[in-house]
Amino acid sequence: MTTVLGSADRLTAPRPRGRIVQSVHDSLVIARRNLIKMSRIPEVIVFGLIQPIMFVVLFSYVFGGSMQIGNSTSPEVYREFLMAGIFAQTVTFATAGAGAGIADDMHKGLIDRFRSLPMARGAVLTGRTLADLVQTTLTLVVLAIVALLVGWRIHEGVPKALGAFALLLLLGYAFSWIGALIGLSVRTPEAATSGGLIWLFPVTFISNAFVDSSNLPSWLQPIAEWNPFSATVQACRVLFGNPGVSTSDAWPMQHPVWASLLWSVLIIVVFRTLSVRKYRSATA
């Protein structure tokens, strides 16, 4: 017997979604779940805000008068030079939280429960990184207010400043995929936190974030100049109009905005691919 659907049945029957639409929908659902979870643990957000504020205050007032930027040792000049580095450090340090969160979900078996649902495989990781991006945006807003209070200013207008913050968030999102891969590769959240911070310290300190890269030892200067972190910091200084514009001949320092974009997109493509592949193999 052949069953023929009436017009009412055709209207109420579920319509199949395309893979991309399904993936976006599932990612947003997971992101919402993680944001709700974060809102129920406010101390995590508070502590995430306190750390960058401490960095601003300590670096500004402890090292402000002893750092030479160009021909100046003025604390005010150093504060403006410093802030792009602090902003970039803040968005990248969120990587450890992303890795720990994914490792915690793996450890509790939550990922296995997600696998039993008809959802896109990469949505679990994408949703987590998007939720971390929202938290990072909140942290960046608060940090910018604190920076204004200690004397930091923008000199190239609001549109360019917004472009600089967009580059910072893109870098933070790119690095969160590195954190996702670490979280999938370790057994406990504690290991993910440690693993997420170990590599971040050399990346952020062997750069132009806190000192002019020309003051580094000669063998470290090329490493700092081709560091993706340095490219974003330099791009922000250019867009903010802050002191510290590099005189290096290295391509990333001469074209920092493009270098920042290219590095961030490359990191996202590579580490998202590796993370999704690791997720599939780890939960197979």
| Residue 4 maps to a domain | no
**DSSP per-residue letters across 137-204:** HHHHHHHHHHHHHTT----S-HHHHHHHHHHHHHHHHHHHHHHHHHHHHSSSHHHHHHHHHHTHHHHH
The 3-state DSSP class for residue 72 equals strand
Side chain identity at residue 221, one-letter code: Q
Domain count, the chain: 1
Query: How much is the pTM?
Result: 0.85
| Residue 13 maps to a domain | no
| Residue 57 maps to a domain | yes
| Residue 2 maps to a domain | no
Side chain identity at residue 27, one-letter code: S
| Residue 3 maps to a domain | no
Q: What is the reported pLDDT for 23? A: 79
Q: For residue 47, how many other CB atoms are within 10 A of its CB? A: 9
For residue 206, what are the domain limits? Answer: 18-282
Distance in Å from the first CA to the final CA of the chain: 40
Handedness of CA 128, 171, 100, 281 (dihedral sign): positive
Q: What is the reported pLDDT for 212? A: 82
SS3 content of the chain, % helix, strand, coil (to 5): 75, 0, 25
Q: What is the dihedral of CA 181, 184, 190, 194, to 10 degrees?
A: -20
Query: For 255, phi and psi rounded to 5 degrees?
Result: -130, 65
| Residue 1 maps to a domain | no
Residue 75 is inside which H or E element, if any? helix 75-107
Residues of the chain with pLDDT under 50: 1-16
| Residue 5 maps to a domain | no
| Residue 97 maps to a domain | yes
Q: What is the reported pLDDT for 172? A: 93
The 3-state DSSP class for residue 69 equals strand
Q: What is the reported pLDDT for 166? A: 96
